Structure 1
Amino acid sequence: MNDQAVPILMYHSVATAPNDATRALSVAPEAFVEQMAQLADLGFTPVTTADLARSWRRGGPLPERPVLITFDDGYEGVHGHALPVLAKHGFAATLFVSTGWIRGAHDTGGGLDTMLDWDQVRELAAAGVEIGGHSHTHPEMDQLADDPLRFELLRCAEIITGELGTRPVSFAYPYGYSSRRVRRAVRETGYRQSLAVGNALARRRQGPYALQRVTVRRSTGADEFERLVQGRAIARNFARDRALTKGYAVVRRARQVRRKAVLSRV
């Protein structure tokens, strides 16, 4: 069985002057230009999330050096800054939108910075960018009860389908958090694959609903970027993140226990 390791890059905002809420995960436009040029120079071929999962599910071939370029949330700079660079190189990409954050009829006002509007999302889709789901209001999905969880998944899929005329097949977990229950709900909603974070290369054995990604930040320099896409020193680069994630996981488990205790007394 092919267990080729594939880098899935997780971007958020691409912006010259991001606000404080998005700064750490916002890549400068000139850095994005350089990173896409690096991918081309290193011989990587970007594919969409749907393409990768379809290949692994059916055992089909992949390019010699595949890579995925993904964007979360739906910030305006994906259209204004990233799209021209992707088009220049002929690169595929996937954008995961939180539908309640996109400007327009469904906007809940939760967006952290300037967000895309639906005309821009349609232009991205027309340019070949795969549009996937990222929930409706961007909650920690494993903290939701069953009904709100289903609402987040169904509402997101319904809005994307209504706005674009095509039902999304790929999903990315907000904050990277999932559980067996969440993954089952994502599958039952009709998504064919979904992405976590993990800060590791994706492998087929992870399964289609827990594919891992590597975070690209504003602080990611050219040398670090090359190491990330080549799978070198990832564990060292994200050691602090993993320690913090483990600590926060303890807090989140305690929350779940308290919530269950409260519900049992109701």
Structure 2
Amino acid sequence: MYHAVGHRPAAAAYGLSVSPESFAEHMALLDANGFTPLTVRELGDAWRSARAVLPPKPVLITFDDGYEGVHRHALPSLVEHGFRAALFVSTGWLRGRYEEEGALDTMLDWDQVRELADAGVEIGGHSHSHPQLDQLDDGRLRHEVARCRELVADELGSAPASFAYPYGYSSRRVRTAVRDAGFAQALAVNNALASRDQGPYALRRVTVQRSTDIGRFERMVENRATFRDFARERALTRGYAVVRRSRSAVRLARPSREAAASRV
């Protein structure tokens, strides 16, 4: 899972960015070590088919949010190696007529998204305004997911099949909303490799960031990452999950309490 690719990304995007040189080095390692990149749609289709066989050493190369550097810096490396990938866009962050506030750095415009799609990059959904979906009420949750899918379909001519949860956060309610909107599979984070038994709406990924050196990257993709490689990320994820569940329970209960009070 990548985010921004650039030499000097904005401070808010820096930690989850990689330099163009590092990205090129990562792609060269995948190529030299015999990996076969797939789109998320291809992986989902294969795992739903009892007869499908994945290629040797399959890997997903994914980008979240929709930063401009994916087109400027990552696409040339992907094309050089003949690699497929997937880009998950927050449609309200992309430059153009649907643009809203909140983007952390320079984002793609829709022409660039179309060029990425034409180059074989799967375009998936990542919500409209990049909220924590599990903190939204049902109406806003449905809007964020459906609006994103609608805009991608309108701009590209076909509806996206895959979704990635903003911040990696989901819940049973969020996963149901994503499925009901028409997405066939969805990606979380969890800093672990994806496997078929996780189900199509909770597939895991590992995070590549500015601090990921080539040795750590190789351990990750070869499934040799140690507990120390992800100890900090996993501890933060577990702790914040408890906080988010508590916040969500309070937020979702508030309308019921207010409604009850109005009847007294």
Contact persistence 2:135–2:251 (CA under 8 A) = no
Matches within 5 A, 1:124-203: 124-203=116-195
Give the Cα–Cα distance (whole angstroms) in 2 for the partners of residues 189 and 261 of structure 1: 24
The residue that corresponds to 1:35 in the other structure is: 26
Aligned pair count reads 257
Q: Is 1:46 paired with 2:28?
A: no
Cα displacement (A) at 1:240: 1.1
74-83 vs 56-65, which moves further:
56-65
1:185-207 deviations in Å (ceiling 9; x for gaps)? 11110000000001001100001
Counterpart among 114, 138, 148 of residue 122 in structure 1: 114
The residue that corresponds to 1:5 in the other structure is: none
Counterpart among 57, 73, 77 of residue 81 in structure 1: 73
The residue that corresponds to 2:249 in the other structure is: 257
1:83-103 deviations in Å (ceiling 9; x for gaps)? 000000000000000000000
Give the Cα–Cα distance (whole angstroms) in 1 for the partners of residues 226 and 144 of structure 2: 32
Counterpart among 223, 233, 255 of residue 225 in structure 2: 233
User: How big is the alpha-carbon RMSD for the aligned residues of Structure 1 and Structure 2?
Assistant: 0.9
Give the Cα–Cα distance (whole angstroms) in 2 for the partners of residues 25 and 259 of structure 1: 29
Q: Which amino acid aligns with 2:18?
A: V
Give the Cα–Cα distance (whole angstroms) in 2 for the partners of residues 256 and 214 of structure 1: 26
Query: Identity of counterpart residues, as a percentage?
Result: 64
Q: Which amino acid aligns with 1:134?
A: H
Which structure is richer in relative contact order (CA contacts within 8 A, separation 6 or more)? 1
Cα displacement (A) at 1:234: 4.3
1:102-142 deviations in Å (ceiling 9; x for gaps)? 00000012211000000000000000100000000000001
The residue that corresponds to 2:11 in the other structure is: 20
The residue that corresponds to 1:3 in the other structure is: none
Give the Cα–Cα distance (whole angstroms) in 1 for the partners of residues 252 and 37 of structure 2: 43
Give the Cα–Cα distance (whole angstroms) in 2 for the partners of residues 145 and 31 of structure 1: 40
1:138-163 deviations in Å (ceiling 9; x for gaps)? 00001111100000011001100110
Q: Which amino acid aligns with 2:198?
A: Q
Contact persistence 1:199–1:234 (CA under 8 A) = no
Give the Cα–Cα distance (whole angstroms) in 2 for the partners of residues 95 and 212 of structure 1: 16
Uncovered stretches (5+) of structure 1, i.e. residues with no partner: 1-9
Cα displacement (A) at 1:224: 0.5
SS at match of 2:12: coil
Q: Which amino acid aligns with 2:46?
A: S
The residue that corresponds to 1:104 in the other structure is: 96
Contact persistence 1:29–1:81 (CA under 8 A) = yes
The residue that corresponds to 1:7 in the other structure is: none
Cα displacement (A) at 1:236: 2.4
Give the Cα–Cα distance (whole angstroms) in 2 for the partners of residues 186 and 143 of structure 1: 15
Contact persistence 1:200–1:234 (CA under 8 A) = no
Contact persistence 1:69–1:94 (CA under 8 A) = yes
TM-score (norm 2): 0.96
Give the Cα–Cα distance (whole angstroms) in 2 for the partners of residues 203 and 260 of structure 1: 32
TM-score (norm 1): 0.95
SS at match of 2:15: helix
Cα displacement (A) at 1:260: 3.5
1:23-47 deviations in Å (ceiling 9; x for gaps)? 0010000000100000001100100
SS at match of 2:206: strand
Contact persistence 1:13–1:27 (CA under 8 A) = yes
Off by >4 Å, runs of 4+ in structure 1: none
Uncovered stretches (5+) of structure 2, i.e. residues with no partner: 259-264
